[in-house]
Amino acid sequence: MVYTPTPARVHNGGMLGRWVGWLVLLGLALAVGLGQRLPEFSLLDPKGNLVTPATMKKPAVIVFWASWCPVCRAEFPGLHRVAEETKVPFYVISREPKDTREVVLEYMKAYPRFLPLLASEKDKPHEVANRFKVVGQPWTFVVDAEGKVVALFAGRAGREALLDALLLAGVELP
């Protein structure tokens, strides 16, 4: 399941809107794809524990975001409700290099069910976003128990589509 915004869905209109739409489509074509395993990464949870694709709890949702992103701000309350209802781990990774540990942890106080992943000695969050080939935010990956991507959303992940993706990942919904 891939949400693919076409240029017609971009609401800016005009030439800029078309370019943004095509850029998103190009990004989707390059990003980690359906059925692929997660790329390797080593980030820290807020307690300092190392999180890698092998150690993360799965099925899971991985959301790439930025603290300044208005779409992320609008989307997070709905995502958080899904995290609360399903008890699925939602790992959030800022792709903004200027989002410090302090900025991320302060922002996440409003979303206690999210697990922010922070820089480690080996990796920085924005470098991990590059490995996933994420070109914007928010980008949401739904991962099954084997660590394979079963759904990808570029932009907002709607509630029903996200719940459908969690079913594809093997989650038993309440």
pLDDT at 110: 97
Residue 44's H or E segment, with its range, is strand 43-44
Q: Which domains does the chain have, with CATH numbers?
A: 34-168 (3.40.30.10)
Q: What is the Cα 120 distance to its own chain's centre?
A: 19
Ramachandran region of residue 149, left (φ > 0), alpha (ψ -120 to 50) or beta? beta
Helices 70-86, 159-168: axis angle to 10 degrees equals 50
Instruction: Summarize pLDDT for 66-78 with one digit per residue, the tens.
Output: 999 999 999 999 9
Mean pLDDT value across the chain: 87
Does position 21 have pLDDT exceeding 50, yes or no?
Answer: no
**3-class DSSP state for residue 164?**
helix
